[in-house]
Structure 1
């Protein structure tokens, strides 16, 4: 009985470490990339989609574990929310830290091996494998040495590029085996939204981050300058959408409009409260509606 409870608690702990809400977002963004390929005329390959997703999830869970390992000190000090402050598992001591790091390396290795074998089997392709490798390496150095980008003021931009550009392009290339400039440009507005989300989710952790030497933008910039950066990134996202009006499907442009009042609401509250929920809602709305639009176009 005691052993059964121990196994159950361990399973719950390792599941929470994987940040399920983050993984759901990763699956959705990956799906958007594949739907873009479908909308542009590529025959949808469900086998490639499934294998590509399996490799992606292995890498993503490994990266999440590495991030939790790197942030254990700051997560022990901060007030956790659903979207910030980590999972809270490692500071509680419910699982050994060294084991989490080992599993992180193992999962990333298995994910890359899956991608390689699938490429050799011609289920995936060289372009998608390259993007999977970029995502794995970028996700690792985001929080881990030797670069630990999130600790030196580059985490917000790195996360935005990985999640808003590399990830949907990975989903796209799994289906097409090629990249185009138009598809790359189509991802840029969402890059801006993920950057906004990073600004919002690092704000509640700023005091804890500062105490342990994690130099996020929220620890280095004043609230006024952060708000200006937030507004600039929000305007830039829609300026890019406007510039792409002749290349993006009309349905995608229209689907992006409802997020405007939400991001205005989020901007008004940024740095004036601790919760990042307004920005999360705005980003999730843009993602969901654009995904639906690409599905309709296809």
Structure 2
């Protein structure tokens, strides 16, 4: 493992915030199109989503402490420095989580207790990604469950914060975002596959192997656009050409993925940038469908 990954900037994982921004933005947009627009509430919804993402990013490294305590590859002074960095990141993550919780309580007061249940489900999903006794990352369920917890739940939760309810539109339109949330996590697993295998972390990519994980990455990208075609044919999306730039980027990503190392350390940040590019085009396409509907 690389101690540099615990620097605050790297622990925050900046490329991952495209998920919170796009997912919450989508929920807010769909709610606004259905007559539940509120710019002040929309601001707090998106901020809460970003803070929640920061919380998950920062506290998920806490479980690495046991690995560093058991490591024989570093000196005791280095070990203590790494453990101190992880503890610092965890404390900052807790502060971000507390801020997100305060906003969540205010939004619950503005809507109803149903939102609180969604927030609790989202918190548990993020916390138990690496926390015991669940730790669904090492059970190989991360890529699967992030589809629901980060994709569908984040979009639907943002919509609920605005509309005080759930609509079928918000669920259906969340599907491409949910698929790409899984794609982003898979890119991390591909990068970390050798290290995870070395330390006995049975992620999905470790379980199925590099070749199958790379094929899954390819399949998720393709399925995202297939779902978009279906949504467009059903009238949920307009201006499909808005997704063309992201499609070209996706083709380039697949070329990177075809390299012997699957893109290595460059794959996660490139996938994060792709997510943002797709998300902007997707939001515009959703907006265009509402404007002409």
Q: TM-score, normalised by structure 2?
A: 0.78
Counterparts of 1:264 and 1:219, CA distance in 2? 25
Counterparts of 2:270 and 2:48, CA distance in 1? 31
Pairing 1:217–2:204 present: yes
1:3-42 correspondence runs (5 A): 14=8, 17-23=11-17, 25-38=19-32, 40-42=33-35
Contact 2:183–2:220 under 8 Å retained in 1: yes
Flag structure 2 segments of 5+ consecutive residues without an equivalent: 1-5, 70-78
Partner of 1:247: 235
Partner of 2:73: none
1:153 shift after superposition: 0.6
Contact 2:15–2:273 under 8 Å retained in 1: no
Q: Deviations 1:186-215 (Å, cap 9, x if unpaired)?
A: 111222222222222211211111122211
Contact 2:17–2:53 under 8 Å retained in 1: yes
Indicate which of 254, 261, 281 corresponds to 1:289.
281
Contact 1:112–1:133 under 8 Å retained in 2: no
Counterparts of 1:13 and 1:270, CA distance in 2? 27
Please state which structure has a larger fraction of its residues in helix. Answer: 2
- Matched position secondary structure for 2:143: helix
1:147 shift after superposition: 0.8
1:233 shift after superposition: 2.1
Task: Flag the 1:111–1:205 CA change in 2: closer, same or farther, 3 A.
Answer: same
Task: Flag the 1:75–1:206 CA change in 2: closer, same or farther, 3 A.
Answer: farther
Flag structure 1 segments of 5+ consecutive residues without an equivalent: 1-11, 77-89
Partner of 1:45: 38
Q: Deviations 1:36-93 (Å, cap 9, x if unpaired)?
A: 222x2324212222333444344333222211212457799xxxxxxxxxxxxx9953
Pairing 1:185–2:177 present: no
Contact 1:193–1:234 under 8 Å retained in 2: yes
- Matched position secondary structure for 2:128: helix
Partner of 1:111: 100
Counterparts of 2:192 and 2:50, CA distance in 1? 26
Contact 1:210–1:219 under 8 Å retained in 2: yes
Residue-pair matches, total: 270
Counterparts of 1:99 and 1:16, CA distance in 2? 13
